[in-house]
Chains A and B, each alone.
Chain A
């Protein structure tokens, strides 16, 4: 089963990479892009019999390693 984990910086955390990207986009003429926040995306192959178990396992490893709760939050999607 595949699980996807999206890790993003919390809104209160300054993202200098996102800022640089949005400035580049503005200089390219994309004035319609207001803000960019850069994050991380993980694809996990999970050995689980049901989606709930896969989701629980993906959340556990996100808590322990994939995300740092001091600065980041995460979202899990499971491919059924």
Chain B
């Protein structure tokens, strides 16, 4: 079972993701430079956090045209589990693999803190080991995490159960006070129609060991291992 961690110029959570997969989860992990055209037979692909291309123009806007993204798109089209974390989520939205966009936080501040998110859906490769409604404590570190989509898209996301993570308080209540950035409907993470592509602003890979304050993020990695075991090797791999 092999994880590919895509590295763009400006990625800075690539090593966090690699560490969580390789040393905490104990699976095989490889960095894939953005100029590569192959994912080297990966079973799972992670687009990590950071500031690809310095966030120039818009967050994630330039990275979508990196050579490796053609391989990432065909991996997703083949049903492969693809996780975008923070800047990776922004890249997925710019690439249109996920709907909507991430705007500047409503208070214009960069938020670096632990927040709670509620698992809304457990039928994605990255949440199948979580309990419905489970509250995860995960760190966020972003200035542009304010999820926006037009009213029709939002309604469609809700109706089709594609809001995967929602900001909430410790008791699992999604309130305006528990929403750190102004995201519409308190959305912290979503998935595509096929449910194999998941993007979220919080950093599960930085919450995989209790000395770091939380090990709640490990459930995403455990989930995708279980998912792959259930679904077997991918045809595209």
Contacts and interface: CB of A to CB of B under 8 A. Distances in A.
Interface in A41-78: 65-66, 68, 70-71
17 contacts: A12-B150, A13-B148, A14-B148, A14-B182, A16-B146, A16-B182, A17-B104, A17-B108, A20-B108, A65-B57, A65-B61, A66-B57, A68-B58, A68-B61, A68-B94, A68-B101, A70-B150
B61 A70 contact: no
Most buried by B among A13, A16, A20: A16
A71 to B, nearest CB: 5
B61 A71 contact: no
Interface of B is mostly: loop
Nearest to A40: B57
Given A65-B57, A66-B57, A14 B150 contact: no
Contacts of B108: 16-17, 20
Interface string B59-79: 001000100000000000000
A16 B106 contact: yes
A70 B101 contact: yes
Nearest to B108: A16
Contacts of B193: none
A16 B101 contact: no
Most buried by A among B58, B61, B104, B149: B58
